[in-house]
């Protein structure tokens, strides 16, 4: 069965997430509808992972397998884009090995979070605007504690539903660029709402309302905690699935904004 690897960007604002649902509009649902209309047959469509309602993607990866006509990839891509809603775009369609599986073969995912330090007329849908002053240095220092293999149960929605809440975080970066604070987290996989709770917790560190040592404590197994990351879940608007890496892929590109917020010199 022909397999096609798709790379997609989408503005998640209008969608109830990537995953298909019976009563709500989803990105995968729109893509399946359009793909089946172009190919004239039912398709197997699997993404590298779910993105939640309102979360965006700069480069989600999915595979498409079907028994329909073999259409050259460039033309398939154009046909999909001609029919897709304006807020979903297929960046690339490539022939893949029949056994290629977008989720199982992915070796790591990278998420980008955009915190705006001021109100913005343009980028509201693509940032979390935090009014309080944030100490980027302490956010960065605290974020470095996430790197490595830890139990992220405290940062997971419904941890009991997970086979394991241990995750290997490969890299974290926190960087100010103009009036944005960018946070990148790279890991083999992510738990539900994990990135938004890591970012929500880092913002509390930046505000000075939780200390770096307390954050480290959240990664250790056990007892009651004064600080509950679930109460500090960053909104989906600032979150982008930035890249999905497969064996043989090169390094991630340099960290830069999905949408810049120009420096105004004022908050």
Catalytic residues: 52
At residue 216's C-alpha, the angle toward residues 258 and 113, to 5°, is 10
Q: How far is the C-alpha of 22 from the C-alpha of 138, rounded, in Å? A: 44
For residue 87, give the 3-state DSSP assignment: coil
Exactly one of 18, 100, 126, 190 binds a copy of itself (CB under 8 A); that residue is 126
Question: 32: which 2 tokens?
Answer: 């399946």
Distance, CA of 9 to CA of 183 (rounded, Å)? 19
**Residue 177 sits in the site that holds a copy of itself (CB under 8 A):** no
CA–CA distance, 239 with 10 (Å, rounded to integer): 12
Is residue 259 within the footprint of a copy of itself (CB under 8 A)? Answer: yes
Helix (H) or strand (E) holding 207: helix 194-207
Residue 77 near a copy of itself by CB under 8 A: yes
Can you tell me the distance from the alpha carbon of 173 to that of 182, in angstroms, rounded to the nearest whole number? 8
Q: How far apart are the first and last CA of the chain?
A: 55
166 touches a copy of itself by CB under 8 A = no
Q: Which of 45, 39, 121 is nearest to 88 (CA)?
A: 45
* Span near a copy of itself by CB under 8 A; candidates 7-15, 105-113, 147-155, 217-225: 7-15
Options 29-37, 42-50, 202-210, 254-262: segment touching a copy of itself (CB under 8 A)? 254-262
> Does 266 interact with a copy of itself (rule: CB under 8 A)?
yes
Name which of 87 and 141 has its Cβ closer to a copy of itself. 87
- Token pair, residue 223, equals 């007892």
CB 212 within 8 A of CB 138: yes
Residues 14-53 vs a copy of itself: string with x where CB under 8 A?
----------------------------------------
Residue 81 contacts a copy of itself per CB under 8 A: yes
**Position 124 contacts a copy of itself (CB under 8 A):** yes
Cβ distance to a copy of itself smaller for residue 246 or 259:
259
Name the residues that contact a copy of itself, by CB under 8 A.
Answer: 7, 9-11, 56, 58, 74, 77, 81, 86-89, 91-92, 119-122, 124, 126, 256-260, 262, 264-266
């Amino acid at each position: 069965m022909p397999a096609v690897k798709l790379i997609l960007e989408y503005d998640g604002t209008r969608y109830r997430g990537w995953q298909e649902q019976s009563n709500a509009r989803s990105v995968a649902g729109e893509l399946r509808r359009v793909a089946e209309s172009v190919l004239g047959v039912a398709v197997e469509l699997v993404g590298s992972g779910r993105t939640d309602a309102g979360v965006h993607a700069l480069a989600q990866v999915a595979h498409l397998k079907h028994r329909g006509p073999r259409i050259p990839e460039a033309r398939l891509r154009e046909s999909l884009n001609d029919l897709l809603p304006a807020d979903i775009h297929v960046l690339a369609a490539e022939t893949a090995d029949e056994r290629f599986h977008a989720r199982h073969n992915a070796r790591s995912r990278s998420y980008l979070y955009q915190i705006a330090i001021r109100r913005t007329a343009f980028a509201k849908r693509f940032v979390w605007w935090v009014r309080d002053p944030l100490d980027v240095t302490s956010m960065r220092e605290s974020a470095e504690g996430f790197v490595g293999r830890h139990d992220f149960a405290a940062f997971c929605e419904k941890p009991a539903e997970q086979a394991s809440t241990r995750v290997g975080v490969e890299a974290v970066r926190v960087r100010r660029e103009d009036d944005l604070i960018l946070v990148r987290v790279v890991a083999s996989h992510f738990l539900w709402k994990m990135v938004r709770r890591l970012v929500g917790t880092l913002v509390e560190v930046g505000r000075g309302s939780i200390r770096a040592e307390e954050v480290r404590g959240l990664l250790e197994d056990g007892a009651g905690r004064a600080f509950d990351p679930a109460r500090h879940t960053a909104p989906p608007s600032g979150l982008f699935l930035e890249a999905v890496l497969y064996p043989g892929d090169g390094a991630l590109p340099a960290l830069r904004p999905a949408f810049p917020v120009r420096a105004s010199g004022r908050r």
